[in-house]
A and B are shown apart, each in its own frame.
Chain A
């Protein structure tokens, strides 16, 4: 079966759909607006595969009912039992769809090079967005159990929260206590909100369509199993750097469009990316990269495991477990596990040495030229560590990841560097917007430079013009759709 497509934000179809969705939410009476928005969100998801709408309905209905039972129960054991049912149900659903192929292959049911994959395995489909909406509904039942949240007044509202189209298929992972209250009224639109919403959408589209899709071939050249042994060290580094930029542009781009759409409709979504490549530690990196996932893992996994309250050794274990499971959340393969494990190890090392001072997104003025040099050094170190981990994330298997890393770190001592390829790769200019965005944020946080409205407008105009003028490569799905 061919991979089907959801209505993607970077399609004409979506931008014909959105004005209708906007009008339904903004112009109809509130009850009708909710019903219409729910219907349109389901159409949005059904555009991919109508049959999987049943799954999202089932998942949300079961958790809605369970949350009701948890709230009504007074006996803590009964409450705990219902929470266990919710956890088992959600994680079971996720595991079934995501990990069945890996388990089947590991147990020898995945076919081989001679027989090929069995038909059922070749046709296996992971429902788009399942990792996101199961985490959303799980956070709801957990918060109700912890008495941080009262159950939603109606299933209708809850279903709308789960299926709300801007965040349905690839986040941000919005919590019930963040979105449910916003569904009870319509926030007035203001011109600054509309400006910001448009800006986020245009910036997100530019990052996805121009930058991420444009960098894809450079990444593929480096991560091709048949030719990896022949690529130069420079080409391997270009592949890794371009992948880091591609995944940022793709995922942050998608998140920014989602946030922009929400703003235009009158909602506030949590920020999901905050220029992660200016991080000075891995701990800080995880307050800037996929922020809604890292806070979910922190609040619902790391802290319940004990967090950093049970001594140093246990803290390191908790960090590793959290990041390993975070890796597995992304995909069913050993290379994702390795990616998570590397991050867990780095976080544990940072904690052991006390390198975890975090200043994400806040003003953190420079304290002189030496401070600048130290910060720059730390940014480079974190950048390299993150990109070594990205190699595992991108490679189709462990063997390929090791091969690419060999080209990056060992081959420079044994083969020509191949630096001339830099001049032959004008596509590297696509890295400039990523660098500029990060440099601008660093200037804001470290030098206190205010974000300028005229500059933002000028940049937005440039993004828009380039969106029209730059040809798209083979349009690829948002990378995080596969999660």
Chain B
């Protein structure tokens, strides 16, 4: 043993430091440090990340099984009894901001859609949910388009999913939504890549739309529109509060749609049903593929829809 008192003190201090690191306080310090850093991040950046390409609109997602569906249907957001549903095809996913609509005071919002989900199946899905206010976004593709085999495969996979998988997905989804709504999160791989976070090609869907509304499908589409018409009448009779919207696209896509599916078809249906109709075509919107809006314009479009809904007494929560 050394007789040097300084060495004894140094040893004692070193031992004390080592034993301190072996206690519980590093865990507590670490946890507190993490909380402080996260709180600082939130204070500095807030929680609402601006939309760069595709809109930023975190919302929980749930599969809705509908008999006879040709594509899987998903509810994004909430669907309580006093909520508002917005139903349609994939353009709902890009064009409708739940966050904007809720902030504008239309109530809790849920969007019900999938790519190439036929609107009559979407309406059937809506009828299984609690809300009784519905905005229907009609496009020629959502009224009728030829079912795609790969959508049927995805639908079967969803239907075959076990309960345990659904529990996992639901919990993980809820945590992710909470995380994205609480913090400005970092995306290592923005959807589609590119500077705006998405590949911008406004002419990308022109060929697809020409095909969708081509002559062979027009008669079938009219028949399906009749089904939609009857379904909406039935829903109104059951107490649903309904409004219709035609979502915007590029001028070229809108022209293709008008040629294959005259706009007065939807307008006349709405007049016959007595439901308000908002035609958003003819505006100046930017899309990333011709039919799906970029994030900033999605927020603009959602604000316009909110403005309009708030003027409609029969679309307010009862």
Residues of A within 8 A of B (CB): 1-2, 4-5, 7-8, 11-13, 16, 47-48, 190-192, 194-195, 198, 210, 214, 217, 426-427, 430, 453-454, 457, 460-461, 464-465, 468-473, 475
Contact = CB atoms under 8 A, between A and B. Distances in A.
B189 A4 contact: no
B165 A4 contact: yes
B30 A457 contact: yes
B189 A468 contact: no
B189 A13 contact: no
Contacts of A453: 21, 26
A460 to B, nearest CB: 6
B239 interface: no
Given A426-B188, A471-B186, 5 more contacts: A4-B162, A12-B172, A13-B171, A468-B183, A469-B38
Interface in B11-44: 21-24, 26-27, 29-30, 33-34, 37-38, 41
A426 B193 CA distance: 11
Given A191-B24, A457-B30, A470-B186, A12 B171 contact: yes
Main secondary structure of the interface of A (DSSP, over half): helix
Contacts of B161: 2
A149 B264 CA distance: 84
B219 interface: no
Nearest to B173: A12
B185 A2 contact: no
Interface stretch (B174-182, B241-249, B254-262): B174-182
Interface residues of B, number: 35
A469 B41 contact: yes
B176 A472 contact: yes
Main secondary structure of the interface of B (DSSP, over half): helix
Contacts of B22: 190-192, 195
A5 B188 contact: no
B187 interface: yes
Interface of B: 21-24, 26-27, 29-30, 33-34, 37-38, 41, 157, 160-162, 164-165, 167-168, 171-172, 174-176, 179-180, 183-189
A471 B171 contact: no
Nearest to A216: B189
B175 A470 contact: no
A281 to B, nearest CB: 34
Interface centre among B26, B27, B162 (most CB of A within 10 A): B26
Contacts of A427: 188-189
A11 B34 contact: no
Contacts of A194: 24, 27
Nearest to B175: A12
B168 A5 contact: yes
Contact of B157 (A2, A12, A16): A2
B188 A473 contact: yes
Contacts of A195: 22, 26-27
Nearest to B163: A47
Contacts of A4: 162, 165
Contact of B188 (A2, A191, A454, A471): A471
Nearest to B179: A468
Contacts of B33: 461
A4 B29 CA distance: 39
A470 B186 CA distance: 5
A198 B21 CA distance: 14
A235 B29 CA distance: 42
Nearest to B190: A471
A461 B188 contact: no
Nearest to A464: B34
A8 B23 CA distance: 30
B29 A457 contact: yes
A7 B165 CA distance: 9
A42 to B, nearest CB: 14
A379 to B, nearest CB: 27
Given A457-B29, A472-B176, A1 B160 contact: yes
Given A2-B157, A4-B162, A457-B30, A471 B23 contact: no
25 contacts: A2-B157, A4-B162, A5-B164, A7-B164, A11-B168, A12-B171, A16-B171, A47-B164, A191-B23, A191-B27, A195-B26, A214-B189, A427-B188, A453-B21, A453-B26, A465-B34, A468-B34, A468-B179, A469-B41, A470-B185, A470-B188, A471-B185, A471-B186, A472-B176, A475-B172
Nearest to B29: A457
B38 A468 contact: yes
Contacts of B160: 1-2
B192 to A, nearest CB: 10
